[in-house]
Structure 1
Amino acid sequence: MSLPILTAICALGCFLICGIPSGLIIARASSEHVDVRKVGSGNIGMTNVARSAGASAAALTLLCDAGKGAVAILLARLVIAQVAFGGDWSQTLPQAQGGLASATLYASCVLGHIFSPYLHFKGGKGISVGLGAGLGFCWPVALSMLAVFVVLAIPTGFVSLGSVFAALSLVPLALLFGVRGLALVPLAVISLTVVWAHRENVRKLLRGEERRFSIHKKGDKLERGATDADAEKSAAEAAANDGKDA
């Protein structure tokens, strides 16, 4: 089997595994029994789970999202190493001959989470799964991105700020650690897609409206999802305009 075909098959497997909506499942099974798509930001990621289902659910979501990314890419790299390189794992390192294949697997993990095939291609924002898959792709790059995230998110309380700059640091850090050539293309796709997934957060940051990280406590009132709130606001505005016209 040729390397491109094998990579495509393994990438599909990564996409399907990482598309599993861990946050949605965990929040529903939590004591709050909440559908995170209908509260807060409407996102299925760890941050919205923390705000709607509490610390335990958020920690489990982080573990599961990062875990599925790490397991998916490591298993896929193992298959490629065995089938395409006679069991030589080193050939799947990002700096080696199979670097493009490994970078493609990494991108598939993140894209699977953001565009979950189980939720009509809507999902999370790729940060937790990106950490896990990144560790399986090139751990020095992943840990450096985590450092960027921590330096920005912890002091400010804005998870989105750390996430966006961590994503933007991916390609420069990959270059720093020896990744070259076409292997950088899937990494650029990851970076741009994660920033795109945070586009509303970026707008709110620029307007000074972004919420800081918070953890839901039992008894706290849940916020309605942004989509529902926007829809109700639009309906109210339309009704007001109809009244004026009348």
Structure 2
Amino acid sequence: MFISFFIVSAYLIGSLSFAVIVSRLFGLPDPRKHGSGNPGATNMLRTGRKSAALLTLVGDMAKGWLAVYLARYFGSQYGVEIAATYGAAVAVFLGHLYPLFFGFKGGKGVATALGILLAISPWLGLATLASWLVVFVLTRISSLAALTAATLAPVLGTYLIGGALPVVALCIISALIFWRHRTNIRRLLAGEEGRFAKPADTSSE
């Protein structure tokens, strides 16, 4: 019963779509009907409000971290720490992808996944983030960086954490990231995926 409570609570936390919440606070277009239609930080950048994109990124990361932290903390008091932690990890991620409060239309989950990984293990989160950064800096393609990080997360988790349940949970989250990026994968294969422009060179000549 306790595990079910943690899972449901995590899903509800995940259902807080910060892209939609922030867009309403800033009086911006609904991200589900603007740009790519994805309620996430990248699409919020298309509104021209970097502060709104940053708040969305932080909010989505924070909810992933909070749900897992609370499940681990309280789960340990009832002897269900491992099951509660990884059940909450998957549940909060599903909440972000399919939010109850916003018509089950959520984002792709990259920021929320990072928050989850940081709560599970700071080293796992930082190592996965490093892989994202390396690929992004080299290619300027956000989706390719996300897919690479999603591929490496279960591998890194195997070495840094171990255990069947953690690895299974990480594999589920990674598989869901691939599923949500299926249109990006098609564009990548076709060589049509967009790139972020490199920062302008401001050095003196």
Instruction: Give yes or no for TM over 0.5.
Output: yes
Letter in 2 for 1:147: A
Indicate if the aligned counterparts of 1:27 and 1:34 stay in contact, CA closer than 8 A. Answer: yes
Letter in 2 for 1:197: R
1:65 aligns with one of 60, 64, 68: 60
Letter in 2 for 1:17: I
CA–CA distance in structure 2, aligned partners of residues 202 and 115 of structure 1: 20
Q: 1:182 to 1:51 in 2, by over 3 A?
A: same
Q: Does 1:20 align with 2:22?
A: no
Hey, what does 2:195 align to over in structure 1? 212
Indicate if the aligned counterparts of 2:124 and 2:153 stay in contact, CA closer than 8 A. Answer: yes
The percent of aligned pairs where both chains have the same amino acid is 35
Normalising by structure 2, report the TM-score. Answer: 0.90
Segments of 4+ moved more than 3 angstroms: none
What whole-Å deviation, never above 9, does each CA across 1:21-45 have from its counterpart, x for those lacking one? 10112123226x2111111110001
CA–CA distance in structure 2, aligned partners of residues 179 and 105 of structure 1: 18
Gaps of 5+ in 1: 86-91, 93-97, 215-246
Deviation at 1:154, TM superposition (A): 2.3
Hey, what does 1:140 align to over in structure 2? 123
Indicate if the aligned counterparts of 1:157 and 1:213 stay in contact, CA closer than 8 A. Answer: yes
What whole-Å deviation, never above 9, does each CA across 1:52-92 have from its counterpart, x for those lacking one? 2421111111111111111121112111112227xxxxxx4
For residues 1-246 of structure 1, what are the structure 2 equivalents within 5 Å?
Answer: 5-30=1-26, 33-84=28-79, 92=81, 98=82, 100-213=83-196
Letter in 1 for 2:176: T
Indicate if the aligned counterparts of 2:71 and 2:84 stay in contact, CA closer than 8 A. Answer: no
CA–CA distance in structure 1, aligned partners of residues 88 and 161 of structure 2: 18
CA–CA distance in structure 2, aligned partners of residues 196 and 182 of structure 1: 21
What whole-Å deviation, never above 9, does each CA across 1:70-120 have from its counterpart, x for those lacking one? 1121112111112227xxxxxx4xxxxx2x432222111211111111222
Letter in 1 for 2:10: C
Gaps of 5+ in 2: 198-205
Indicate if the aligned counterparts of 1:27 and 1:53 stay in contact, CA closer than 8 A. Answer: no
CA–CA distance in structure 1, aligned partners of residues 59 and 146 of structure 2: 18
Corresponding residue SS for 1:169:
helix
Letter in 1 for 2:190: R
CA–CA distance in structure 2, aligned partners of residues 154 and 121 of structure 1: 33
* Higher RCO, Cα 8 Å, sep 6+: 1
Indicate if the aligned counterparts of 2:154 and 2:171 stay in contact, CA closer than 8 A. Answer: yes
CA–CA distance in structure 1, aligned partners of residues 14 and 154 of structure 2: 22
Indicate if the aligned counterparts of 2:7 and 2:87 stay in contact, CA closer than 8 A. Answer: yes
CA–CA distance in structure 2, aligned partners of residues 112 and 53 of structure 1: 27
CA–CA distance in structure 2, aligned partners of residues 158 and 184 of structure 1: 27
Normalising by structure 1, report the TM-score. Answer: 0.75
RMSD between aligned alpha carbons?
1.6
Letter in 2 for 1:14: A
Indicate if the aligned counterparts of 2:140 and 2:196 stay in contact, CA closer than 8 A. Answer: yes
Larger radius of gyration: 1
Count of aligned pairs = 197
